A and B are shown apart, each in its own frame.
Chain A
Amino acid sequence: MALDGPAAADGDPCSDAPSRTSEPGDRVAQLLATMEQMPVQPTLAMRVLWMCNDDTVTQTSIAQTVELDPVLTARVLRLANSTHYGSREPISSTHRAVMMVGCAAVGNVAADAVTTSVSADRLPAHFWSHSAAVATACQSIADVFRMPATEAFAAGLLHDLGAGVLRLFDPVRWDELELVTPAARETTERRMFGVTHEEAGAAILQAWRLPDIVMVAVAGHHALPRLREQGPANLVLAAEALAAAAFPDRMWEVPALDLKDLNRWGLNTARIGRLVSRIREEAKELEQVLG
């Protein structure tokens, strides 16, 4: 089913059967509506709720906990970037967002997430752990791609929001993508859903008024890389390659780049080895935090 209604049920995900496309405005509305159901990690959301009701807990700690979950982070950022708070410039730092909206509002977001979201098995496999690994990688190589570390982290954490939304929208079609070659994946996603998961994620972030630099990083994370370019578009691409090296069993899709491709951006083998180790260590710490 494409985002505007059912596509032809032809039995072959790679056939050239045409699908209808909706008006962009309708599509974004559908994406946003589906995004409302995106599950958060229940343990983590409960923890945030508890922290927000404890006067001894700092906003920094709350922000650090919030940003362990991409969906919760996205919702807090959305709130901070809403016109209600009237920020002059888009906010991508979870810490700034928490400071701006206050603990009570963050607690409300967490409570709402716990009560309204659907079961976690509706997400793509390894959605949370993969997002965390890519976020760590993005932050670690932000300097190479001339991105501020905060925006880089946000881009990594939020890069697969679109995948979560599309799977939530139609899990059967999404799971059929598993049997589509990596090279054909983009066109097949567009044919099935009328939009790729990168475009869906970027559209959501745009609607939520997140910074353009984050949106650009999310929008192109499987595009054919222009390897000499060191801007944000290639940041998530490179980070996915590192995350895949750290956790080859936690990828729901094959990254566009190989590790050796990273040499072209000046990431030598020594640094790649260290980065992979760091991603693994931080993921272990995250697992301990989440019990």
Chain B
Amino acid sequence: MDTTFARKSADRVFDVLPVPAVVCDLGGLVRSANDAFAALVGVAVSPGTHWRALLDQEDSERLARAAAGAFSDDLRGGRHDHEVLVTMCRPDGSVAITELRLRVGSLDGSKVIVATAHPREDYRFPEHAVSTDEPTAIVATVADRLGTLTAAVGRAVSAADERAGVLLGSDPEALLGSGWLTFLHPGDREAMELALHEVLENGISRDIEVRRPAEETAPLRMRIAPVGHGADRGFLATIEEVDEFTPGLLGDLDNEVRTDPLTGLANRRMLWETLAGLRTDDDEARPAACFVDIDDFRRINEVHGRSGGDLALQMVAERLRSACRDGDLICRFGGDQFVALLPHVATEEIALSVGRRIVASVARPLRKDEQQVQLSASVGVVWTGTPGLELSGDDGELLRAADVALTKAKRLGKNRAALFDEATRGENAERRVAIELLRAVLDSGATPPLAVRPAVSVDGMPLLLEVFSPLGSGVGATDPEWVAGLAAEVGLSLPWDQAVLGAALDAVHIPGRPTDLLLSLSPDTMRDPAFLATVAALPTDVQLAVAVQEAATGNGRVQDAVRQLRDAGAAIVLRGAGSAEAGFASLRSLRFDVLELDARLVAAAQLDQTAEATVAALAAFAARTGSRVVAAGVTDAHTLPFLAELGVDGVRGETWDVLPARNAG
């Protein structure tokens, strides 16, 4: 053992002991007082100070008598404490009624009095043996219930006393030379490493509570203090038993229970608790809520992996914090959904402006390493003061209203904030009715209603017949993407797409006559092996084309699914070519049969030369790969010659024709 280091450590033990202690010579002059003693008397006690300065005359005399008794006892070989109750005066005028326990020790070869101070409710030290030839005697005197450990920065233990061994469940000799962390419970090692780092960095002591290696016994409190300088730097720890972890620990756990660990925002539990205590009776400022959903977040996970997705969520959380005010509660509701609860909002416009601020903050590009990631958010906003708004007293009603407004924001095209109103609630009810209808069609095996939209060649010949099911005329479901979204929402994409395909074949296919059907597939269906079997089993006079919107976004899983579908015999229609999301670069890795040009590009081509050149270039590209080109959104027959001149093979409009229902049987 390095005795120099051990001696310095022992001195330092005295300094950092949690028990107030002072060492005086026979004449009553202070030789040393530790930090805890200074805290008790309210002033740092310098060496050379006489204890009379801390006490009144009567107490000073009693202390002198007790010290004399201790020396007398020491001369006779006695080893017990001499106690005296004193009143110490602090500089601020307050007093500390304290029991001083005196015992004789040895410091630098001379006898000294070691006094430990104990408030009346504090514990008593049990009897113990005192060594008189080392400074450690002081430590032993005041700290027999404490174990001590020292270790150099390399973290190997260089000194350990018996008590440390008892507390850590090990022979002190076995502790020597072992790693500082090895004898701790594995669950405490990370916290201890952090504590050691802090002690080393800041040069101040730190308390940490740890489990004993033997799980079921009382916890330990360790005070870690820095010792030495330069090459001698190290740590010193006092160890004591405590009955329970301090309430602060449970306090931390209580906070953790209410915090989302990934983002540091509040979690759903905290949100519900806050909602329950929300005041809605203040006419000046009413609560509002913003329900935030990151648009198409699944793509971020697919393209950048789970860790990239987590990082994006953390950055979004930071943006939300900056977009909201102090006092607002921002919660990660789950996955890529967040809720901002605004307790005091004066007007509907202010609530909506917060929603818009959130949209704008999320829309700023995120940078990860060298990459730039573009996100957008849809936000549903509800303000409880909106005239005519009838919210029940249920705490969940505010969130449900914000969720309804969020659905509205999504339907309006995402990347925006929308305000709740009663009409929106009606739209949401319509959505629920549509889902019930969809399920009822599938459960009963009925034929889904159909709508068709043809694509024709520029010289008027039929190319493809696109089909989808509008569900029913009564629910206003005329948007294929909307219906596909409903089916995906209830996990019924595959059976729904299969049912629509079956109904389309029944409706338009005449055996022996070739039929070219076009169906928009949801990503879930595309990836499902069962649909590959469906495609492979189609009659030979049916050519199925599947429209793919997501294939151009660099998503490998979709591209694999597209490849397999093509191998199974389906023609692939790549949709949205020439849009901002699907430019030339995205086409290189794909095999397709028909390239469908984005309707906005087609419209622009008739007005500006750059768009015209883009159409021509895409058409030339398709021709080189043996694919045909169809222009979307064409409603004017006069544009056909112009498009044909650019190399376009066919066109389609935007409207759907609903087929009459077929009679059962």
Contacts and interface: CB of A to CB of B under 8 A. Distances in A.
Interface residues of B, number: 53
A9 B440 contact: no
A172 B257 contact: no
B250 A259 contact: yes
Nearest to A255: B269
Interface in A1-27: 1, 6, 9-14
Interface string A254-270: 10001110000000111
B272 A172 contact: no
A149 interface: no
Most buried by A among B186, B245, B254, B439: B245
B47 to A, nearest CB: 40
A178 interface: yes
A48 interface: no
Contacts, number: 116
B178 to A, nearest CB: 22
B650 to A, nearest CB: 37
A248 B272 contact: no
Contact of B334 (A178, A254, A260, A270): A178
Nearest to A6: B436
A277 B429 contact: no
Contact of B428 (A11, A251, A269): A11
A281 interface: yes
A270 B400 contact: no
A154 interface: no
Given A244-B269, A249-B267, A181 B425 contact: no
Interface string A43-70: 0000000000000000000000000000
Given A181-B395, A254-B269, A281-B186, A248 B429 contact: no
Contacts of A278: 187
A171 interface: yes
Interface in A241-291: 244-245, 247-249, 251, 254, 258-260, 268-270, 272-274, 276-278, 280-281
A10 B429 contact: yes
Interface string B207-227: 000010001001100000000
Most chain A CB inside 10 Å of its own CB: which residue of B332, B435, B491: B491
B258 interface: yes
Give chain B's interface secondary structure class.
helix
B127 interface: no
A269 B403 CA distance: 39
Interface string B172-204: 000000000000011100000000000000000
A182 interface: yes
Given A180-B396, A254-B269, A276 B253 contact: yes
B599 interface: no
Nearest to B492: A171
Contacts of B258: 248
A248 B257 contact: yes
A272 B392 contact: no
Interface string B633-661: 00000000000000000000000000000
B256 A181 contact: no
Given A179-B399, A179-B403, 4 more contacts: A9-B436, A178-B334, A181-B396, A245-B256
Interface of B: 185-187, 211, 215, 218-219, 243-245, 247, 249-250, 253-254, 256-262, 267-269, 272, 275-276, 332-335, 392, 394-397, 399-400, 403, 425-426, 428-429, 432-433, 435-436, 439-440, 489-491
27 contacts: A6-B439, A10-B429, A11-B432, A13-B400, A14-B392, A14-B397, A14-B400, A121-B491, A122-B491, A171-B490, A172-B432, A178-B334, A181-B395, A245-B253, A248-B259, A249-B262, A254-B268, A259-B250, A259-B254, A260-B250, A268-B244, A269-B250, A270-B245, A273-B245, A277-B211, A281-B186, A281-B187
Interface of A: 1, 6, 9-14, 118-119, 121-122, 125, 170-172, 178-184, 244-245, 247-249, 251, 254, 258-260, 268-270, 272-274, 276-278, 280-281
The 6 closest A-B pairs by CB, nearest first: A11-B429, A277-B187, A181-B396, A181-B395, A269-B250, A179-B400
